[in-house]
Amino acid sequence: MFNRAVADQAILERLNKLTDQATDEFEVEGTPPFFVNGKKITGAPSLEEMRSAIAAALNGH
């Protein structure tokens, strides 16, 4: 499926556009990026850090 997708020029152009948007607008520099309520979580967050970020977002912080 991947080979078929990148062989299709229209799909490849859309993929490249989304990649550029992720880099330019959201400053995504690698995978997987984590965003919680629009806030970028950098590095390799622990489970507790992710829980804390999600709880804060659910509580409106």
Q: How far apart are CA 2 and CA 8, in angstroms?
A: 10
Over residues 4-53, the pLDDT tens digits come to: 777 888 888 898 898 899 889 888 887 778 889 888 888 888 999 999 99
What secondary structure letter does DSSP report for 34? E
Show Cβ contacts of residue 34 under 8 Å, excluding neighbours closer than 6 positions.
Answer: 40, 41, 45, 50
Predicted pLDDT at 52: 93
Q: What is the predicted pLDDT for the residue at 36?
A: 92
Looking up tokens 């995504």 gives: 28
pLDDT score recorded for residue 27: 83
CA 45, CA 61: separation in Å to the nearest integer?
18
pLDDT of residue 12: 85
Is the full-model pTM beyond 0.85?
no
